[in-house]
């Protein structure tokens, strides 16, 4: 099936750019994207205020590309039971995620419940790679579209995530409105955006036109404490630089 043409020139350019590099995306960006998921996930879980540690479903991973976020969630739920992965960097990021969540919930080990997820993205080729999850109970659907024109009815999703996507969108205000429209009341939006492309406070102001409650995501203190802890216990042969992340993070709730 061929993707349909797009209204926005920038969306068309993005589609071409990501279509052309899709096969290298996971190996280039896996670690850094995992770190972003780690940072945003604990905050989303916290503001949803659910009795159990979970993401409220249905989830929309907006601009979700190759499905790395789903892959991360799968690894995290295995890690929280068995505590081991093949890649040391990934181990450290998963351990950091558990650390962040358990700090908020004051419980270890954590057990996580993940709901089904729809991934949408403008790039057809990025979505083709995400098809590897088609047999996973977590993947509910793959949709090729522009985030500024979401082909969903209102109030369909309880959680929307958008990792390193919004800075690519021509009409950001429209994309924010669309996310708000398809979220249920009390639903939560979690966003990461490259710092070099946007000012955090200006972006929070834009979100504030649609969303009632906007929360900054702070993790610097926890990152320092975690790094100290793993240096002291000598569990890892290498120390992964948790400071590499170049995005800022915001969460918003639809009241
Ligand atoms: C840096 S990648 C991030 C992918 C994924 N969120 C992740 O964490 O790996 C940016 C993604 O945004 C998608 N994208 C760019 N412009 C878009 C638009 N207008 N609507 C939907 N997706 C878009 C690209 O195709 C690409 O998959």
Output the DSSP codes for 129-193. Answer: HHGGGTTSTTEEEEEE--TTS--S-SS-EEEEEEES-GGG-S-HHHHHHHHHHHEEEEEEEEEEE
109 pLDDT band, cuts 50/70/90, is low
Q: Which of 22, 28, 67, 121 to mutate to test the pocket of ligand 1 (most atoms within 8 A of CB)?
A: 121
At 36-73, the pLDDT tens digits run: 999 999 889 888 877 677 788 899 999 999 999 999 99
Q: Tokens for 113? A: 């419940």
Domains plus CATH for the chain?
9-253 (3.40.50.150)
Residue 114 has pLDDT above 80, yes or no: no
At 26-37, the pLDDT tens digits run: 999 999 999 999
Which whole number is the average pLDDT over 143-156? 97
Cα 22 off chain centre by: 18
- Please calculate the CA angle 28-38-168 and round it to the nearest 5 degrees: 55
Give me ligand 1 centre to Cα 165, in Å.
5
- Residue 125 is predicted with a pLDDT of 97
Distance separating alpha carbons of residues 245 and 33, to the nearest angstrom: 9
Which whole number is the average pLDDT over 200-226? 91
Query: Phi/psi of residue 199, each to 5°?
Result: -90, 130
Distance separating alpha carbons of residues 255 and 253, to the nearest angstrom: 6
pLDDT: is 55 or 180 the higher one? 180
Give me ligand 1 centre to Cα 73, in Å.
18
CB 162 within 8 A of CB 198: no
With a CB cutoff of 8 Å and minimum separation 6, the contacts of 208 are 214
Within 10 Å of residue 228's Cβ, how many Cβ atoms? 10
DSSP string, 17-57: HHHHHHHHHHHHHHHHHHHHHHHHHHHHHHHHT-SSSBPPS
Q: Tokens for 217? A: 């995501």
Give me ligand 1 centre to Cα 92, in Å.
25
The model's pTM? 0.94
Which whole number is the average pLDDT over 81-93? 79
CB under 6 Å to ligand 1: residues?
Answer: 11, 14, 18, 33, 63-65, 68-69, 121-123, 126, 146-147, 163-165, 168-169
Residue 225 has pLDDT above 70, yes or no: yes
């Amino acid at each position: 099936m061929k993707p349909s043409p797009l209204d926005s020139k920038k969306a068309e350019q993005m589609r071409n750019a990501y279509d052309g590099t899709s096969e290298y995306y996971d190996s280039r960006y896996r670690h850094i994207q995992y770190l972003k998921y780690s940072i945003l996930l604990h905050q989303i879980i916290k503001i949803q205020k659910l009795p159990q540690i979970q993401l409220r479903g249905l989830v929309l991973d907006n601009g979700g590309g190759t499905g790395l976020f789903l892959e991360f969630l799968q690894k995290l739920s295995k890690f929280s039971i068995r505590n081991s992965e093949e890649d040391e960097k990934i181990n450290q990021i998963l351990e950091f995620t558990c650390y962040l969540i358990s700090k908020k919930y004051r419980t270890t080990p954590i057990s996580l419940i993940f709901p089904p997820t729809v991934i949408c993205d403008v790039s057809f080729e990025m979505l083709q790679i995400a098809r590897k999850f088609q047999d996973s109970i977590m993947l509910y659907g793959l949709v090729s579209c522009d985030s500024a024109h979401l082909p969903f009815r209102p109030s369909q999703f309880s959680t929307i995530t958008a990792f390193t996507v919004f800075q690519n969108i021509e009409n950001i205000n429209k994309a924010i409105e669309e996310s708000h429209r398809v979220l249920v009341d009390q639903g939560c939006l979690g966003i990461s955006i490259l710092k070099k492309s946007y000012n955090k406070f200006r972006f929070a102001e834009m979100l504030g036109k649609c969303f009632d409650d906007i929360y900054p995501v702070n993790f610097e203190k926890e990152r320092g404490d975690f790094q100290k802890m793993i240096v002291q216990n000598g569990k890892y042969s290498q120390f992964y630089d948790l400071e590499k992340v170049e995005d800022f993070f915001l969460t918003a709730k639809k009241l």
